[in-house]
Amino acid sequence: MRLDELGTVERELWDSFARGAAVEVPAGAPATESAVRADVIAALLLGTGPGTDPGDRPALRLSGARITGRLDLSFAEITVPVVLADCRFDEVPLLQGARMRELALPGSRLPGLAADTARIDGRLVLAGCRLTGALVLNRAQIVGDLDLREAVVTARKAEAISAVHVAVSGDALCSHLAVQGGFRISGGVIDGEFDLEGASLSNPGGHALDAYHVQITEDFTFHPGFRAEGRIILSGATVSAAIGFCGALLDNAGDVALEAVDVSVTRNVDLGQGLTVVGGVQLDGSRIGTQLSFRDATLTRPGGTALSLRLVQARETDLRTRRPVDGTVDARNARLGTLYDTPDTWPARLRLAEATYDALAHPLTAAERLDWLGRGTDGYLPQPYEQLAAAYRRLGHEDEARTVLLAKQRHRRATLPPHSGAWGHVQDVTVGYGYRPLRAGLWLLALLVCGAVFFGAHPPAPLEAGKAPPFNAVFYTLDLLVPIITFGQEAAFAPCGTGQWLAYGLTAAGWILATTVTAGISRAISRQ
C-alpha cells in the first residue's frame, strides 16, 4: 500500500501504530475525513505497516472512525491489541479462525460480527455496541472476559447471538444486554460468572436464551431486572456456584418459560424475591446442593403445569410464593429436603406421588395437612399419606400420624365399590381401622353396660336347676361379648324372648369387634 494514497486519518493511524498511540476522529468530522478503509487496518495488522524500534509496543487504537469496505482477518494471526472504539462499520468484519491478542470494539456500530472458531488471548469487548446483524462466536476461545455489557444485538426471527461451544476463561459479562432474536450459547464453558443482570432478551415463539449443557464455574445470575420473552433453556447445565432469578420477568404464555431439566447446581437456585413467570417452570431431574427457593415468586400458567419439580433433589425447598401458583404444581418423585410452605399459598392442584421430604418446617395440624394432600390430582395414592405420617412421627406427633393414616384408609375406601367398602365402614366405626383402638374399648363398655342392665333386670333361666353357678349379669354379658375367654355363665343359662335376641346380637357384636380389632391392629403394626 502506497503512503501517498492514505487519507488524513489513515496516515495518522499508520504513523501511530508502532507506538500504540490512540487516534481519535473528532465528533462531527466530515465523512470523507472520518473514513478509514478496512484494507488499511488489515495491512497494519498483517505486518505490512511501518517497522518498529526497540521499546515500541505496537497496537491499533482508533475511535470515532467510519470503517469502509470489509475488514477480513480470517485465519490471520494478529500479535497486537486492536481497539476500535465508537466506530461505524459498513460491512460485517470477518474474524473466523483468527488468532488475536485482544479485540475491543466498545460503542461501535456493526452490521454483524463473524468470529467463529477465533481465538482471542485476552478480552473480547463489545460493550455498548449496536449490531444490526448476527454476532457469531461458535467454538471461539476467549482467554479473558467476554464483555457484552449494554450491547444491543438485533436479528429478529433469527439467531442474534450464536456462541455454540464458546470457551471463555474469564467472565461472560452481559449485564443490560438487549437482544432481539435468539441467543444460543449451548455447550459453552465459562470459567467465571455468567452475568445477565438487567438484560432484555426477546424472541417470541422461540428461545430467548438457549444455554443447554453450559458449564459455569461461578454464579449464573439473572437478577435483578432481567427480562425475557420466549423460552429460557438451561437444561443439562452445570453451575459450580448458584443460579439467581430474583426480580426477573419470564414471559412465554401458554408454554414453558424456564426449561431447566437435569441441571446440577452446587449451591442455591433462587427463583423468588419478586420473580414473575408467565408460563411454566420445568426443573425435572435437577440437583440443587442447598436451597431451591420460590419465596415471593409469582407463577402463572392457567390450565397447565406451572411448576414441574419431578425428580428434583434439594436440601431445602421453599414454596412460599407471593400468591398461590396459578396452575398445577407437579412434584412427583421429588426429594425436597426440608419443605417450607404456608396454607395461604398452597396451589389448587398438587401432584405429590412418591415425593419425599425430610421435614416440614411448618408441620401444621393433620387436618390442615390433609387439605394439602387433598389437592392432589392423581386419585388415591397411599405414599403421600405415609410420607406425611412419617414426618409427624419424626416430630413425635403420633396422634397426628394416626389421623393421617386413618384418612388414607378412608380415601381408599371411597375408591372401592359399595359392597367392598362395607367391611371398611365397619372397621372405621369400630376401631378407626386400628388407628383408634380406644374406640373398641368404648364400644365394648357400652355393650357391656347395655347387656348387664338388661340381664340384671331379666335374668335368664338356668339350664339345669341346682347345678348352675350364681348368675352374674356382668360376667354373663362378658361371656357373650368376648369369644376367646369364658366365665362359665353363657353355658349355664338360656335366655328367651327378647333376651335371646339380645344375646345373639351381643355375640355377633363381640365377633365383629374381635375381628376388626385384630385386622386394624395388624394393619397399624405393619406400617410402623
Residue 79 CB-half CA count within 13 A: 5
Residue 276 burial by Cβ neighbours in a 10 Å radius (0-12, 13-18, 19+)? middle
Instruction: Please tell me whether the overall predicted TM-score, pTM, comes out greater than 0.85 for this model.
Output: no
> Distance (Å, rounded) from C-alpha 489 to C-alpha 484?
14
CA atoms within 13 A on the CB side of 421: 10
The answer to whether 462 and 468 are in contact (CB under 8 A) is yes
Residues near 2 by beta carbon (within 8 Å), at least 6 away in sequence: none
SS3 state at 130: strand
525 burial type by CB count under 10 A (0-12 exposed, 13-18 middle, 19+ buried): exposed
Yes or no: say if 513 and 430 are a contact pair by the CB < 8 Å rule: yes
Per-residue pLDDT at 338: 93
Residues in the chain, overall count: 528
pLDDT score of 73: 96
H/E segment holding residue 207:
strand 200-210
- Only one residue has cell 456500530, namely 109
Angular region, 49: left φ>0, alpha ψ -120 to 50, beta rest:
beta
Q: Residue 362 to residues 174, 276, 312, 351, 403: CA-CA distances in angstroms?
A: 39, 25, 21, 19, 17
Cβ-proximal residues to 217 (8 Å cutoff; 6+ apart), any chain: 190, 191, 192, 193, 240, 241
Instruction: State the amino acid at position 136 in one-letter form.
Output: V
* Matching residue, cell 450459547: 185
Biggest CA pair distance of the chain: 149
DSSP classification of residue 373: H
C-beta separation of 322 from 342 below 8 A: no
Phi/psi of residue 509, nearest 5 degrees: -60, -40
Reading the chain (528 residues) residue by residue, the pLDDT tens digits are 566 678 888 899 988 888 889 999 887 777 777 899 999 999 999 987 666 666 678 899 999 999 999 999 999 999 999 999 999 999 999 999 999 999 999 999 999 999 999 999 999 999 999 999 999 999 999 999 999 999 999 998 789 999 999 999 999 999 999 999 999 999 999 999 999 999 999 999 999 999 999 999 999 999 889 999 999 999 999 999 999 999 999 999 989 999 999 999 999 999 988 999 999 999 999 999 999 999 999 999 999 999 999 999 999 999 999 999 999 999 999 999 999 999 999 998 999 988 999 988 887 888 888 888 888 777 778 888 888 888 888 888 877 887 888 777 767 776 777 766 665 555 555 555 556 666 666 777 777 788 878 877 888 877 777 677 888 888 877 777 777 777 777 777 888 888 888 888 887 777 777 766 665 556 555 554
SS3 335: strand
SS3 95: coil
Q: What angle do CA 134, 129, 141 make, to 5 degrees?
A: 60
The three grid cell numbers given for residue 508, joined into one nine-digit string: 355377633
Smallest Cα–Cα separation from 476: which of 436, 508, 509, 503?
503
How many other CB atoms sit within 10 Å of the CB of residue 375? 15
**Residue 430: phi, psi to the nearest 5?**
-80, -55
Residue spans of beta strands (DSSP E) within 408-526: 461-462, 493-494
Cα 290 from chain centroid (whole Å): 13
Q: 180 is written with which cell numbers?
A: 432481539
Q: Exposed/middle/buried for 297, CB within 10 Å: 0-12, 13-18, 19+? A: buried
d(CA 7, CA 260): 54
Q: Are 239 and 266 in contact (CB under 8 A)?
A: yes
Query: What are phi and psi for residue 315, nearest 5 degrees?
Result: -75, -40
